[in-house]
Chains A and B, each alone.
Chain A
Amino acid sequence: GENVEQHPSTLSVQEGDSAVIKCTYSDSASNYFPWYKQELGKRPQLIIDIRSNVGEKKDQRIAVTLNKTAKHFSLHITETQPEDSAVYFCAGGAQKLVFGQGTRLTINP
C-alpha cells in the first residue's frame, strides 16, 4: 500500500521568510496530493492540492510542486505571517488517502 513520509517534523521561520515542507510517496498509482492545515483543537482544512498530471500549482502565497519521477511533492509558503503557524499535513492516494505525520510550523515575529 501507499506510504507517505513528511519532513521536517518541526519548522521555525522568521516572519516574512519562506517555508518549505517536503513529502515522499511510494505508490506510483497515487494520483492526488492534498495539503491540510490544522490549528490547535480544530479540524484539518484543505489549503491546496495537486493532481498527478500537473507539476505545479499556486494560490497566492502557497504553492505545491510535484515530481512524479522521484515520487515527491512539496509545499511552499512565501512571505510567511503569524497566522501561518499551525500543523501541516501532506497526503497522497486516490480513492483513499494516506497522510504524512505532520509538520509543526512556527512563524516567529
Chain B
Amino acid sequence: DAGITQSPRHKVTETGTPVTLRCHQTENHRYMYWYRQDPGHGLRLIHYSYGVKDTDKGEVSDGYSVSRSKTEDFLLTLESATSSQTSVYFCAIRPGGRVAGGGEQYFGPGTRLTVT
C-alpha cells in the first residue's frame, strides 16, 4: 500500500468548525495529492504538493487549504466546514516524480468526513 496512512479514518463534525486531515508517507516521495470522491463525480483534485512548502491548487480548491512543512506529511484543512464538504477524502503519492511527465499515483485508505 505504498506506505501511506491517513488520519482520522472517520470524522463527524459540525458546520462551521475547522477540520484538519493528515496524510503521512514513509518513503520520501516528492509528490502528494488530496482528492475528494463523491457519487457521480469520480475523484476530483483539491490540492497537490511537489515538495516541502510547494503546493498548488486543483480543480476544487475553494474552501480548502494545505500545508507541507516536511516531506512525509501533507495536511488538508477545511477552515470552516460546510455540508457540501461531506465526502470521502483520499491522499495519493507519486513515486519518482519526474517533472515533465505524468506518473502512477497510489492512494491512501481514505477519510470519510461527515459535516452535519
Contacts and interface: CB of A to CB of B under 8 A. Distances in A.
Q: For the complex, would chain B's binding face be called helix, strand, loop or mixed by DSSP majority?
A: loop
For chain B, give the interface size range: 20 to 34
A32 B109 contact: no
A62 to B, nearest CB: 15
Contact of B101 (A46, A94, A100): A94
A51 B31 CA distance: 19
Q: For the complex, would chain A's binding face be called helix, strand, loop or mixed by DSSP majority?
A: strand
B105 A98 contact: no
Contacts of A101: 40-42
The winner among B1, B100, B103 for most chain A CB atoms within 10 A is B103
Contacts, number: 55
Contacts of B105: 34, 46, 97
Contact of B104 (A34, A95, A100): A34
A49 B105 CA distance: 11
A43 interface: yes
A31 B107 contact: no
Contacts of B108: 43
Interface residues of A, number: 24
22 contacts: A32-B101, A43-B1, A43-B90, A43-B107, A43-B109, A44-B90, A45-B107, A46-B105, A46-B106, A49-B104, A89-B43, A94-B100, A95-B50, A95-B99, A95-B102, A97-B45, A97-B102, A97-B105, A98-B59, A100-B42, A101-B42, A102-B42
Interface of A: 1, 6, 30-32, 34, 43-46, 49, 51, 89, 91, 93-102
Interface of B: 1, 31, 33, 40-45, 48, 50, 58-59, 90, 99-110
